[in-house]
Amino acid sequence: MGTADAGGGELADLAELVAALDGVSGDRVRDAVAAFRAPIRVQTAGRAGVGRSTVAAALTANGIAGAVVEEADAVDVPGAPDPTLDGDVVVYVLVESVRDADRDAVRTLDPAQALFVLNKSDTLGASRAAADAWATATARAAECSDEGGLPTLPLIGTLAGTSPESGIDAVSAAVTDRVARTRARRGETLLNALRSQAARSPASRDALERYLAGDHAVALAAAAARLHLDDCAAEAPEPPRSAADAARCADWWRAQLARQPTARRRRAVVDVRRHYVRIWQQLSGSPGT
Q: Measure the CA–CA gap between 149 and 112, rounded to whole angstroms.
A: 11
Residue 152 pairs with which residues in a beta bridge?
116
| 115 close to 104: Cβ distance less than 8 angstroms | no
Q: Give the pLDDT score at 6.
A: 53
Per-residue pLDDT of the chain (289 residues; tens, 9 = 90+): 344 345 668 999 999 999 999 999 999 999 999 999 999 999 999 999 999 999 999 999 988 988 999 999 999 999 999 999 999 999 999 998 999 999 999 999 999 999 999 998 777 765 555 667 788 888 999 999 999 999 999 998 666 555 587 889 999 999 999 999 999 999 999 999 999 999 999 999 999 999 999 999 999 999 999 999 989 988 999 999 999 999 999 999 999 999 999 999 999 999 999 999 999 999 988 765 4
Residues counted in the chain: 289
pLDDT at residue number 159? 61
Torsions phi, psi of 200, nearest 5? -90, -25
Sign of the dihedral defined by the CA atoms of residues 204, 278, 33, 85, in that order:
positive
**Residues 96, 158, 71, CA angle at the centre, nearest 5°?**
75
pTM: 0.87
Predicted local confidence at residue 158, as pLDDT: 61
Angle (nearest 5°) at CA 197 between 196 and 200: 90
Distance, CA of 95 to CA of 75 (rounded, Å): 13
Which amino acid is present at 203?
Answer: A
What is the C-alpha to C-alpha distance for residues 147 and 107, in angstroms, rounded to an integer?
11
